[in-house]
Amino acid sequence: QCGESQLQSVKTELEKIIHCANCKVYSAAARQLLDRDISPEYMQEGAATLAKRKTNTKNNNTTSIVIFRIGEEWLGLPAHLFQEVVQFRSVHSIPHRRGKILCGLVNIRGELQLCISLGQLLDIKKGERQGVNIAKGIYERMIVIAKEGVRYVFPVGEIRGIRRYSDKDLLAPPVTATHSARDYLSGLVAWKEGDEERHIGCLDEALLFPALERGIA
């Protein structure tokens, strides 16, 4: 009889509080558990785990680049610089103004933007390469990039999409490079697509943008 009375009391109380997690006894036990002192061993283990996670994060920094081709050279720029890719269009010359790499002005969505020759800056020959598989790349386009409000447009022979790499994948540029591109590279990354394998020159935005500014002066 006593057991049935206690069970009925529990049922009545449970109907009031809906769930046992709302019970005062349950809450008191939870507070007691949370208020207890943390053991030194537990703190040391937690600190070691956090330190390990931080180290792993530091060693696994990744960068996304958009791969494109100018002449025979494959290059990459950080993806965050890219605003859009547009069809190749007419470039209008600027009277009495022509820097080393400045081609003129190009209309991008109703706004005139500076069009530059990245190949000229990097001393890359135009080359004779033609696209053999239109499904793999987008050919003869103009790329719009921007940094800190400054926009540049430049033509490319081909665009091949995005490649992500980690810092440990970055290779030093070859000392045998004869053109100026080496002066603006942070390194090379290997890229394999099917049976094709090549090295992509990763352009360093910190070096490139000041050079672009000087080139159009």
**3-class DSSP state of 69:** strand
* d(C-alpha 108, C-alpha 128), whole Å: 27
Q: Which pLDDT score, from 0 to 100, does residue 131 have? A: 45
Q: Which pLDDT score, from 0 to 100, does residue 205 have? A: 95
Q: Which pLDDT score, from 0 to 100, does residue 90 have? A: 92
* Global model pTM greater than 0.85: no
Q: Which pLDDT score, from 0 to 100, does residue 211 have? A: 94
Of 152, 142, 126, the closest CA to residue 88 belongs to 142
Q: What is the DSSP string of 173-214?
A: PPTT--SGGGGGEEEEEEEEETTEEEEEEEE-HHHHHHHHHH
Q: Which pLDDT score, from 0 to 100, does residue 108 have? A: 94
Give the side-chain half-sphere CA count within 13 A for 60: 6
Contact between 195 and 180 (Cβ < 8 Å): no
Residues 6+ apart with CB under 8 A from 123: 179, 180, 181
How high is the mean pLDDT in each 10-residue block of the chain (217 residues)? 61 62 63 64 66 53 92 93 93 80 93 94 71 54 94 94 90 70 89 84 95 90
Q: Which pLDDT score, from 0 to 100, does residue 202 have? A: 94
Please state whether 18 falls in left (phi above 0), alpha (psi between -120 and 50) or beta.
left
Which runs of consecutive H residues, i.e. helices, occur in the chain?
2-17, 24-35, 40-59, 118-121, 205-215
